[in-house]
Amino acid sequence: MASLKRILVTGGAGFLGSHLCERLVEAGHDVICADNFFTSQKSNVAHLLDRDNFELLRHDITQPLWLEVDEIYNLACPAAPGHYQFNPIKTLKTSVMGAINVLGMAKRCRAKVLQASTSEVYGDPEVHPQPESYRGAVNPIGPRACYDEGKRAAETLFMDYHRHNGVNVRIVRIFNTYGPRMHPFDGRVVSNFIRQALAGEPITIFGSGAQTRSFCYRDDVVEGIIRMMDAADDFSGPVNLGNPGEFTIRQLAELTIELTGSRSELVERPLPVDDPERRRPDITLARGRLGWEPRVPLREGLATTIDWFRSVRIADFRAPTPNY
Ligand code: NAD
Ligand code: UDP
């Protein structure tokens, strides 16, 4: 049996974090979830509150936190464009100061620390599909920069703490992920399309819908994140985690209509500034080093996600709190 550990998950009440907490609690670990609930709500982890090995802290990761832990998963950061652009300065602070705070804790506790980075470090890529060696094409002064550059700076901090202080770090670059517990109002394409299709509202395609994304189901990504934390100590990454199945946004809209049985029409809206034209992970490294690859095809994962959207009361969800 694997040894039980004290584990901190920052952003642990979020879409990915809450599922990660569930997996770690089920494995018997002593789990601390720290979150400021900017883009999530307590209901995501309410079912874990009566577990002896789960603890919930309301904490903003831009502030130092003093805990004794063996492992840290650093997920705290708004992830959807509408959320991270809501207060871009705060987003950059969360990535950079959050990284410094968790790295300081890891250094003091000799803990392993994993950074949830993103395919956004590749910007609007000129190389396709994107391997980890590709250095990216990010506009440093555009509206997405607060997120992209924050995540890039966090990767830099992780590698410098590793090289200069011997901290045991891990970096995963997560590509577009979807699944149950996505925030219905996060503005991301999967949640928007499902919500619109179920309500019979027009499905908003930004631009022509020819741009592509590669969508990975939540459980596959969380499995990859845990495998990366448990990987050999000589492997810090970064490693891509994503599903190589690539779809145009229009194809996603059509599949959502088919699976929901909706009669919604497709409408075109302006393409946001710096919206990447295409994105697909090269997962050769994850296959080789982690023995990981996604298992859930889009059609199946989307059907499960639609079932979840049907099961919740959308009115119970609120837009991000303007609490800064
Ligand atoms: P999410 O918004 O559901 O989760 C982020 C969590 O962090 C939320 O619970 C939020 O309240 C919390 N948070 C935000 N700022 C905070 C702060 N200053 N202090 C403490 N908590 C804070 O998003 P998610 O999709 O679950 O993403 C989790 C992580 O994975 C993020 O770091 C994100 O950048 C990364 N990621 C996600 C995707 C994806 O497609 N979902 C893709 C790439 C990277
Ligand atoms: N998009 C869309 N309609 C929407 C929301 C998003 O066409 O209602 C597009 C968006 O312009 C982008 C893609 O879908 O090209 C993915 O957007 P999302 O915000 O989910 O993620 P990201 O752009 O960060 O990959």
**DSSP secondary structure string, 126-162?**
SSSSBPTT---B--TTSTTHHHHHHHHHHHHHHHHHH
Q: Percentage of the chain surpassing pLDDT 70?
A: 97
Whole-number pLDDT of residue 225: 98
Whole-number pLDDT of residue 320: 57
Domains and CATH numbers, the chain: 6-177+217-244+278-295 (3.40.50.720)
- The H-or-E segment that residue 187 falls in is none
Which atom, in ligand 2's list, is nearest to the CA of 206?
7
* Phi, then psi, of 156 in degrees rounded to 5: -60, -45
Q: How far is CA 57 from CA 33, 140, 255, in A?
A: 6, 33, 39
- In the predicted model, is pLDDT for residue 166 greater than 60? yes
Question: Over the stretch 87-146, which tens digit does the pLDDT of each residue have?
Answer: 999 999 999 999 999 999 999 999 999 999 999 999 999 999 999 999 999 999 999 999
Give, using CA atoms, the residue closest to atom 3 of ligand 2: 205
Q: What is the Rg, in whole angstroms, of the alpha carbon atoms belonging to the chain?
A: 19
Averaged pLDDT, 271-282: 94
Give yes or no for residue 206 CB within 6 A of ligand 2.
Answer: yes
pTM over 0.75, yes/no: yes
Give yes or no for residue 61 CB within 6 A of ligand 1.
Answer: yes
Whole-number pLDDT of residue 1: 46
- In the predicted model, is pLDDT for residue 323 greater than 60? no
Work out whether the CA dihedral 22, 24, 28, 29 comes out positive or negative. Answer: negative
Residues with catalytic function: 147
Other Cβ atoms closer than 10 A to 315: 7
pLDDT category, 317, cuts 50, 70, 90? confident
What distance in angstroms lies between residue 267's CA and the mean position of ligand 2's atoms? 14
Whole-number pLDDT of residue 2: 57
> What's the CA gap between 192 and 184, in Å, rounded?
7
Give yes or no for residue 204 CB within 6 A of ligand 2.
Answer: yes
Q: Where are the alpha helices (DSSP H) in the chain?
A: 15-26, 81-84, 88-109, 145-165, 189-199, 218-229, 249-260, 284-290, 298-311
Give yes or no for residue 119 CB within 6 A of ligand 2.
Answer: no
What distance in angstroms lies between residue 75's CA and the mean position of ligand 1's atoms? 5
pLDDT category, 41, cuts 50, 70, 90? confident
> What's the CA gap between 191 and 178, in Å, rounded?
8
Give, using CA atoms, the residue closest to atom 27 of ligand 1: 79
Instruction: Name the CA dihedral angle for 127, 88, 10, 302, rounded to a multiple of 10 degrees.
Output: -60
118-147 in b/e form (b: 16+ CB < 10 A) is bbbbbbbbeeebbebebebebeeeeebbbb
> What's the CA gap between 93 and 261, in Å, rounded?
43
pLDDT category, 5, cuts 50, 70, 90? very high
Which atom, in ligand 2's list, is nearest to the CA of 176?
25
Q: Percentage of the chain surpassing pLDDT 90?
A: 92
pLDDT category, 176, cuts 50, 70, 90? very high
Q: Which ligand is nearest to the CA of 178?
A: 1
Whole-number pLDDT of residue 319: 64
- In the predicted model, is pLDDT for residue 324 greater than 50? no
Give yes or no for residue 187 CB within 6 A of ligand 1.
Answer: no
Question: Over the stretch 290-300, which tens digit does the pLDDT of each residue have?
Answer: 999 999 999 99
Q: How far is CA 93 from CA 62, 71, 305, in A?
A: 7, 22, 32
- In the predicted model, is pLDDT for residue 321 greater than 90? no
What distance in angstroms lies between residue 76's CA and the mean position of ligand 1's atoms? 5
